[in-house]
Amino acid sequence: MRVPKHIGIIPDGNRRWAVSNSMTKDRGYENGLLPGLSAFRYCKELGVKELSIYGFTTDNTKRPKTQRLAFTKACVEMVNIIKKEDAEILVVGNTTSDMFPCELMELTERKKFNNGGMKVNFLINYSWEWDLKTQNKDISYYNTADISRIDLIIRWGGMRRLSGFLPVQSVYADFYVVDDMWPEYRNEHIDMALDWYSQQDVTLGG
Amino acid sequence: MRVPKHIGIIPDGNRRWAVSNSMTKDRGYENGLLPGLSAFRYCKELGVKELSIYGFTTDNTKRPKTQRLAFTKACVEMVNIIKKEDAEILVVGNTTSDMFPCELMELTERKKFNNGGMKVNFLINYSWEWDLKTQNKDISYYNTADISRIDLIIRWGGMRRLSGFLPVQSVYADFYVVDDMWPEYRNEHIDMALDWYSQQDVTLGG
């Protein structure tokens, strides 16, 4: 099986899952933490070298306050959970806004935890406009230049769109959609995505 | 039915179609011209306001010369065909390279043909790196700032990837894949894409 070097994860559907399980929307996010740890460990076991995980965007912060607090808390906890693993963590997002959790400021430069080994990028208070804002005319000008090209994006929750996820790194990515919601994560979702990915022809426009 | 204002078209699969019909690969492109006219007319009839069509990229020009000449010729003919319709045509791409067909130079500023009405953007010798190369620090800095946000991208030929197609305009686009090859185009493909699109929830991250 051809294993992608870099997988992008869009963990969507937390709120819809909460509502369909008779909870308030904000309760969805805490139920996405165990899936995050499982996905990290399974991707590591499979030999994936880099994971980019869509946390929240500056647009998301316009949602009701209870939801905003809930997803911010879940993102910080998710990072703390991965800090206990062998990982090299980077947090990217707009740190100049109040919406950026100050606990994560120290991770805006990549840090190695335990034995390191897998790069994990968390998008926190991220926005594609912020990302593409430029400092110089070079092609490596954007704010996420430390994140490599993505081979495969897996989105949970059934939507077939990128929603502003790393536009530069995603230009050649294959895009796989899981209809189940993120809190319903199972390793078999990754298996299905990788089976499909193995059958794709990588041409990069050539 | 909810009709998207702006549709992106990735007309892939010309070469695979040619090979499976016992032709040489370069013969695929000329068989994509009638589909292009049909798609334009059908989208217009449905009330779509803007179409962006992926012609060829600077990466594509590295293919064997017979193929390169064939897809360049087909793209120029496609533009000429649409010039006979009611359309407002813009050609975007890197005009500083020899690979840009000089016949299309006059269309690098949008021109109205006949009664105008629908904007049609052709990506010719386009590349996302070229697109994002910047002149100033504003968000409207990129080279395709005259092209609006895309609501729905339809890709023929079964691949589920953007292949560098207008990364900025595609950030929130819904992505529909047709397994048939582009020369096998039928209006029903658009119908299926629009039926699906109508069921999607537009949130723009909110």
Mean pLDDT of chain A: 93
Tell me how close the Cα of B145 comes to any Cα of chain A, in angstroms.
13
Range of the domain at A85: 6-198
pLDDT tier at A146, thresholds 50, 70, 90: confident
Pick the residue of B57, B137, B171 with the most A CBs within 10 A to test the interface with A by mutation. Answer: B171
Pairing of strands B111-113, B87-92: antiparallel
pLDDT tier at B204, thresholds 50, 70, 90: low
Partner A contacted by B129 (CB < 8 A)? yes
Q: Is residue B206 part of a domain?
A: no
**Three-state secondary structure readout of B112-133:** EECCCCCEEEEEEEECHHHHHC
Q: Which residues pair with B112 in a beta bridge?
A: B88
Q: What value, to the nearest 5°, has the Cα angle with vertex A143 and ends A26 and A115?
A: 75
Tell me how crowded residue A21 is: count the other CB atoms within 10 A of its CB.
13
Tell me how close the Cα of B162 comes to any Cα of chain A, in angstroms.
6
Put simply, the answer to whether A176 touches B164 (Cβ < 8 Å) is no
Q: Reply yes or no on whether the pLDDT at B123 is more than 70.
A: yes
- Between B42-46, B76-80, B196-200, the lowest mean confidence (pLDDT) is in B196-200
Q: Is residue B158 part of a domain?
A: yes
Put simply, the answer to whether A137 touches B134 (Cβ < 8 Å) is yes
Q: Which two tokens stand for residue A124?
A: 């926190």
pLDDT tier at A70, thresholds 50, 70, 90: very high
In chain A, the number of structural domains is 1
Q: Is residue A205 part of a domain?
A: no
Q: Is residue B112 part of a domain?
A: yes
In this prediction the ipTM stands at 0.91
Report phi then psi at B166, rounded to 5: 30, 70
Q: Is residue B95 part of a domain?
A: yes
pLDDT tier at A1, thresholds 50, 70, 90: confident
Residue ranges of B 37-66 with Cβ closer than 8 A to chain A: 57, 59-60, 62-63
Q: How does pLDDT run across B176-193, given as a tens digit for each residue?
A: 999 999 999 999 999 999
Residue ranges of B 165-204 with Cβ closer than 8 A to chain A: 167-168, 170-176, 200-201, 204
Q: How does pLDDT run across B10-40, given as a tens digit for each residue?
A: 999 999 999 999 999 999 999 999 999 999 9
Sign of CA dihedral A87, A131, A26, A6: negative
Q: List % helix, strand, coil for chain B (3-state, nearest 5).
A: 40, 20, 40
Altogether, the residues listed in chain B come to a count of: 206
Give the SS3 label for residue B182: helix
Of A85, A15, A4, which is closest to residue A52 (Cα–Cα)? A4
Mean pLDDT of chain B: 93
Q: Which two tokens stand for residue A105?
A: 């400021």
Q: Is residue B205 part of a domain?
A: no
Q: Classify residue B126 by burial, with Cβ atoms within 10 Å: 0-12, 13-18, 19+.
A: buried
Give the SS3 label for residue B53: strand
Please, which residues have CB within 8 angstroms of residue A158's CB and are 6 or more apart in sequence?
A12, A13, A177, A178, A179
Which CATH number does the domain housing residue A23 bear? Answer: 3.40.1180.10
Q: Is residue A69 part of a domain?
A: yes
Q: Reply yes or no on whether the pLDDT at B139 is more than 50.
A: no
**Three-state secondary structure readout of A60-118:** HHHCCHHHHHHHHHHHHHHHHHHHCCCEEEEEECCCCCCCCCHHHHHHCCCEEECCCCE
Q: Count interface pairs A-B at CB distance under 8 A.
A: 92
Q: Is residue B166 part of a domain?
A: yes
